[in-house]
Amino acid sequence: MKKMLIVLLFIAGGLQHGFSQDIYYTRNATLVLNGELDGKALTLQTGELNVKLDYETTEIIIRFPVSSLITDLDNLQTRIEKTNSEVIYEGKLGLEYVNTENHPPMQFTTEGWLNINGEKRLIEGTGELHHIGKSNQYACMLGLNMVLDLEVLHIHLPIEGLENEFEVVITQALLQRDKN
């Protein structure tokens, strides 16, 4: 019985180690929201975007605190800073897997759940993954684009003059292998 338990622990440890080798992440990536307020361009940006990507399953988790968004409109910035919400996107890249060796740019679609304050909405987007050769620190650079229609997503922001459509652009998401 002891031998069986030791074998099971060894197998479980090996499996756990195998899974962690395929997880890549980044912290402090850039996300930009482009919209319109009172007929003028509105840009919100955060540098506190966290991305976790499983290269084997292509499952992706993206998150950031709303309070980290920055804009040059003082009255809107004050409201944002008081927000305790976190935005979480849990989805899957439209790829079978991500090649961990050198590869040409990989274009894909993504679909997943946008979660804001416990409200989940299904959204879609497109992206590109670029391999970074000869880098000991980073494996790939990830970029994503999504268009969000707040009305369709049933998201109401009490900001007068705010248009419903926003473009979401994620850049500089340099993915590192998980160190766990």
Domain residue limits, the chain: 24-177
Burial of 6 (0-12, 13-18, 19+ CB in 10 A): exposed
Any idea which fold 24-177 has?
A: Lipocalin (2.40.128)
pTM over 0.85: no
Arithmetic mean of pLDDT over the chain: 81
Q: Which of 87, 175, 174 is nearest to 123 (CA)?
A: 87
pLDDT higher than 90, residue 167: yes
Which residues share a beta bridge with 146?
125, 168
pLDDT band at 25 (very low <50, low <70, confident <90, very high): confident
Q: Which of 35, 55, 56 is nearest to 44 (CA)?
A: 35
